Amino acid sequence: MVNNNLPHTARTWVYQSTRKLTMPESIIVREKINGFVEQWTSHKMEVTGWGDLLYDRFVILMADEEQVQLGGCSIDSSVRFVKTLEAELQTNFFDRWNIAYKKGNDVLSAGRSDFARLLETGEITDDTIVFNNLLHTKKDLLENWQVPYRESWLKNVALTNTPFSSLL
């Protein structure tokens, strides 16, 4: 899944599309991610970074801050890059209440109210794998990105009206 030479401490961002991208879209997005990472800089220094599209839905960006400390402008440039993808693809990468989960080998997503309904009907259970996009490092991605619902931060808030901003 994440096969790169960056250390486990590499800073990591996960941007989840509200829909699965088509194969042609995925090919283009991977090319654009590679192009972005190749030119990514911080304070005029090249960022040692990595990026990919996983499950045709998640844009993953990583930066090795042991090599170059990221400044606000370099982080802003990555957000602008993802916003550009979002506009080109007519999807949303910033809807934090769009919850991704696995059903068999498929990765699906649902808005908060639909997710709550899926919980109530038993289509999503404590054993359903959900994606925790609130992570910070490569190690987090490798160990805590895909977890059973019962172990996720969602367990305590999915059926409440808790605003997302209060979770950060």
pLDDT tens-digit series, residues 101-124: 999 999 999 998 899 899 989 999
State the burial class of residue 123 (Cβ atoms within 10 Å of its Cβ: 0-12, 13-18, 19+). middle
Token pair, residue 138, equals 């490569």
Statement to judge: residues 108 and 46 lie in one domain: no
Q: Specify if 116 maps to a domain.
A: yes
pLDDT over 70 (residue 57): yes
Statement to judge: residues 16 and 53 lie in one domain: yes
Statement to judge: residues 123 and 79 lie in one domain: no
Structural domain boundaries enclosing 131? 99-158
Q: Specify if 6 maps to a domain.
A: no
Statement to judge: residues 124 and 63 lie in one domain: no
The pLDDT score that the predictor gives to residue 71 is 75
pLDDT over 90 (residue 129): yes
Q: Specify if 49 maps to a domain.
A: yes
Q: Specify if 166 maps to a domain.
A: no
Q: Name the percent of the chain lying above pLDDT 70.
A: 92
pTM given for the model:
0.89
